[in-house]
Structure 1
Amino acid sequence: MNTTRAITLLLLTYMLASCATSRGPLSEDERPPEIQASAAPEFRLGTGDVLSVSVWKNPDLSVRVPVRPDGYISVPLVGDVLAGGRTPAEVSKETERKLTKFIRTPKVSVIVEEIPSAEFQNRVRVVGGVAEPKSISHRDGMTVIDLVLEAGGVNEFSSPNSAKLYRTTDGVARVYNVYLTDILSEGILETNYPLVPGDVITIPERRF
């Protein structure tokens, strides 16, 4: 009899543990790719950044120019070259390609001299059901819960387990579920993702 009761208790304990959360483990498609130290997002140029474009052996074609609001820079001979949203290396290659109409095997270097856009690009944001929506500078090692706590935590009208993480990777916007109730109340850290610059967390509020 005691053995039967012991087995029953073990089964009940197992069942309760299994029901602690109503969802199973996240699949690979449901979670953002792991962040590797060597895979940090590349810096991409933005409006207002100032570039020094140098053409080897052609000082007359070298120029210091800002990225215009339309994302372009003006380079002698070739005219407009798209810079916004690109890396300096990509701007260099595009300028070389256009210069081949005028110069044999041109060599172009692009150096970023001023980067006022970096402060905007390097931010992470949380909006919706928090005490105070925030847009703050990203810090290495920052996670979802760090950002939510910076915003004063969730408010009484929020639906924490319906939160979303919005992230743009290689120009493609992706959305990931964030289960804040599980993180804050249950200590289940599966969706306490590391953040990267540009991430946005949204926390919806309940409808009454």
Structure 2
Amino acid sequence: MGAVGCILLAAGLGGCATPGAGQVSASKDAPFQHDYLIGPGDNLQISVWRYPDVSVTAPVRPDGKITTPLVEDLQASGKTSTELAREIEKSLAKFIKDPVVTVTVTGFSGPYGEQIKIIGQAVKPQALPYKNGMSLMDVLIAVGGITPYASGNQARVMRQADGKMVKLPVRLSDLLKDGDLSANMPMRPGDVLVIPESFF
């Protein structure tokens, strides 16, 4: 129960996200801002102004494409909602004069390469869509914390930066059990949190 209390107490203290879109730093606390990219499994609300017949909700297929009225097999994965809206407008312009399209993401998964993956001794290991400002604490809340068998202070974040994989040590036990907020850190798209098992 103490770990849960610490989580709830510190839940709002996630890392700050500021300038630097598209940059992935190996640093634990470098500021970071990232536009959400559409991924397989997302649901998209596509609204075409004055044309309700071609306004639909479309799922992004596993191949990253969508199909809408008058527009077939358009690549959506890896694009922002604004970029996709402009591409749909170009496709619809063959059939509709001056189409105005808005794309809203209503279900979030994100591209696989940008998801945060949690493996090892988490209560619920899984892949999470990255959100701006997401911190290590946010990730731990989402996975229900760590198991009693976890070696929390031996955990690490694997991060791709400058073309190479770096290992960042993290202190999950200090963060969860002792409420040491200095052990919190901002997460980045594509991070992998590895939580090893304790052998004693």
Q: In which range does the TM-score fall when normalised by the shorter chain?
A: 0.5 to 0.7
- 1:80 aligned to 2:73? yes
C-alpha separation between the residues in 2 aligned to 1:137 and 1:80?
Answer: 24
Q: Aligned ranges for residues 13-28 of structure 1 at < 5 Å? A: none
Alignment partner of 2:87: what SS?
Answer: helix
CA contact (8 A) 1:157 1:205 kept: yes
Distance in 1 (alpha carbons) for counterparts of 2:178 and 2:36:
36
User: What is the deviation of 1:193?
Assistant: 0.5
Question: Across the two proteins, how many residue pairs are aligned to each other?
Answer: 167
Contact 1:182 1:189 in 2 (8 A): no
Partner of 1:177: 168
> Unaligned stretches of 5+ in structure 2?
1-24
- What corresponds to 1:52 in structure 2? 46
Letter in 1 for 2:186: P
Per-residue CA deviation, residues 93-127 of structure 1 (Å, 9 max, x unaligned), is 11233455x36983431243x72x32x55x96643
The structure that has the greater radius of gyration is 1
Name whichever structure is richer in helix by fraction. Answer: 1
- Maintained 8 Å contact 2:26/2:160: no
Aligned to 1:66: 58
Normalised by the size of structure 1, how large is the TM-score?
Answer: 0.51
Whether contact under 8 Å (1:144, 1:193) holds in the other structure is yes
Partner SS, residue 98 of structure 2 = coil
Q: Match for residue 4 of structure 1? A: none
Q: Match of 1:129, as an amino acid? A: Q
Residues 160 and 166, structure 2, Cα contact 8 Å, conserved in 1? yes
2:83 aligned residue = 90
What residue in structure 1 maps to residue 101 of structure 2?
109
- 1:128 corresponds to 2:125: no
Deviation (angstroms), 1:76: 4.7
Matches of 2:35 and 2:164, distance apart in 1: 14
Counterpart-to-counterpart distance in 2, 1:143 and 1:81: 33
- For the residue of structure 2 that corresponds to 1:47, the secondary structure is coil
C-alpha displacement of 1:142:
6.3
RMSD: 4.9
Runs of 5+ in structure 1 lacking a partner? 1-27
Q: Percent identity?
A: 21
Q: 1:206 Cα deviation (Å)?
A: 5.9
TM-score, structure 2 normalization: 0.52
Deviation, 1:129, is: 3.1
Structure-1 separation of matches of 2:179 and 2:57: 51
SS in 1 for 2:186: coil
